[in-house]
Structure 1
Amino acid sequence: MKTWVIDLGKCNGCYGCQLACKDENVENDWAPYAKPQPNTGHFWLKMEEKVHGQVPKVRVEYRPTLCRHCADAPCIAAAPEAVYRRDDGLIIVDPEKAQGKRELVDACPYGAIYWNEELQLPQKCTGCAHRVDQGELPHCVEACATGALRFGEEEEFAEELACATDAFDVEGTAPRVCYLNPFGLFVSGEVWDPAADLIIEGARVALVDATGNECTTVTDGFGDFWFWHLQPGAYRLVIEADGFKSLERTIDVAESLNVGDFPLDKAQEA
């Protein structure tokens, strides 16, 4: 069975995959798999963006989204006479039999099926089935400059699929588009010496979760510290630096946070 493996750690948000999908499908008729995608309004592959943090500590997460070609596809259940799964796992909305079936748009829990008003037709990613038939890769995969998008037999990706996240899955659909290395949340801040009015480089910073698991880092040349790939929850932040009093705070992480700056007082000499 065919599957996609999308490594979010490699995606830089260049939009090459989204543009490649447009290039392949707009004004092109790929019978019997799809009629032309309209010029506007459809994103059979769409780049999702999420902004994390607060100024000045901000990062952007990118995630290419497309039809998940689910093993238990709700669209097939909604219209089995109009939607079918190929032997290789690609799911096709038949452009002839699906005519007028607007209800298929709402049947997809991932929002991957679009309505073509002019053709009165539900449409979506076909996995570039016309290219796969010729032994070629889907155009989005071929165009990916960083290697974030890959496509092939699931046996090829067995080790990576075992590590894939289910964070973006709808329960019960068993999607065949799998994601690696999700961004998660981050916590960042700055440590400084108010007496000298200077940042403190090399301060030791620990972040401890509710179960006692501890992550550690040190402040960089700007006095900044960063903790990546965090789960939501309550954390204890501990900051230490030679010659300074330690500092401790409790923070609740629901979204990525710039927790601000932390002035450290000088330790009293013995």
Structure 2
Amino acid sequence: MLIDVSRCIGCWWCYAACKNYNNLPEAIQPEKEDPPELAENTWSTLFTFQDENGKWGSRKHACMHCKEASCELVCPTGAISHQGAAVVIDQEWCIGCGYCIQACPFGIPHKDEHTGTARKCTFCTERINNGEIPACADACPTGAIQFGTRDSLLEEAKERVHALKDSGYSNANLYGETESGGLHVMYVLTDDPSEQGLPEEPGVATNNTWVKWVSGVIASVIVATVPFWFIFKRKSRLKAASGK
């Protein structure tokens, strides 16, 4: 996926399409001055900013679907995995430990207090498997969100950055080609990443202390509790089904 900030008009159609397709409840009416933050029931939002001239800009913000996903690397149960380009959380295997939430350099996963599991953007894997494109890209009226092969989008992104520089955006840049091992959601930015809500150098779990922290005794204890977790979840479902 390629998101061109210069083409985003802040219409919120991507936000609404995500809510609609994933049957996520709408809690507020989004406003550019106070956009909703990502949450267990908000998987896509807009990061809004003002340039030096006071003009508002927007950047769609959701899971980056990293090639080297820190969330996947620290997950002790294998609940997080790649399905093609998408990084997905298997709700049946997630035990709600929260390691993915703490490890993600972009602040993407959030814990659902009702299910006890971590949730985030799925990259609309069902749509992709059916030959469709993600709901957000399908809804975008300006072409700011495009979906295709990573190589073709990289080529287009570099051309757009060059065009933006020629038109006066001296700080225009491509974000996601190499960050976190390469992102499957890349950006054409009109300014430095930090000015548009992105970390300049997002880390990967293998390069910091997270893997060490999750490994060893702590991970062993968590894995040992997995069978009991599934028993508990099964009992909860049976209880809910019986109405008791």
> For structure 2, which runs of at least 5 residues remain unmatched after alignment?
28-38, 162-172, 193-244
Residues 170, 109 of structure 1: alpha-carbon distance in 2 compared, 3 angstrom cutoff: farther
Gaps of 5+ in 1: 27-36, 186-270
Matched, 1:45 2:44: yes
- What SS is found at the alignment partner of 1:9? helix
Counterpart check, 1:111 vs 2:107: yes
Question: Could you say which structure has the higher helix fraction?
Answer: 2
TM-score by length of 1: 0.57
What is the Cα deviation at residue 173 of structure 1? 4.0
Which residue among 172, 180, 187 is the counterpart of 2:180?
A: 172
Aligned-partner Cα distance in 1 for 2:25–2:186: 27
SS at match of 1:131: helix
Name the CA shift for 1:38/1:75 in 2 (closer, same or farther; >3 Å).
farther
Q: Counterparts in 2 of 1:182-201, with a 5 A limit? A: 182-184=189-191
Check conservation: 2:21, 2:135, Cα contact below 8 A: yes
The sequence identity of aligned pairs, in percent, is: 29
In the TM superposition, residue 171 of structure 1 has moved relative to its aligned partner by 4.5
Q: Does 1:5 align with 2:14?
A: no
- The residue that corresponds to 1:195 in the other structure is none
Q: For 1:162 and 1:64, how far apart are their aligned partners in 2?
A: 19
* Counterpart contact for 2:176–2:183, Cα < 8 Å: no
**Residue 106 of structure 1: how far off its partner (Å):** 1.3
| In structure 1, distance between residues paired with 2:8 and 2:17 | 15
Distance 2:140 2:179 in 1: 29
Tell me which amino acid in the other structure corresponds to 1:143: A
Task: Provide closer, same or farther for how the CA distance between residues 122 and 38 of structure 1 changes in structure 2, counting only shifts above 3 A.
Answer: farther
Aligned-partner residue type, residue 129 of structure 2: D
How many residues are treated as equivalent by the alignment?
167
What CA distance in whole angstroms lies between the structure 1 residues aligned with 2:16 and 2:135? 10
The counterpart of 1:96, out of the listed 92, 97, 106, is: 92
1:58 CA displacement: 1.6
Helix, strand or coil for the counterpart of 2:61?
Answer: strand
Post-superposition shift, 1:155? 3.2
Whether contact under 8 Å (1:85, 1:92) holds in the other structure is yes
- Partner secondary structure for residue 6 of structure 2: coil
Change (3 A) 1:170 1:61: farther
Q: Which amino acid aligns with 2:4?
A: D
Moved more, 162-171 or 107-116: 162-171
State how far apart, in whole Å, the 2-side matches of 1:62 and 1:96 are: 35
Alignment of 1:253-268 (within 5 A): none
CA distance in 1, matches of 2:96, 2:111: 9
Q: Distance in 2 between matches of 1:25 and 1:90?
A: 16
SS of structure 2 residue aligned to 1:172: helix
Three-state SS of the structure 1 residue aligned to 2:15 is helix
Distance 1:98 1:63 in 2: 30
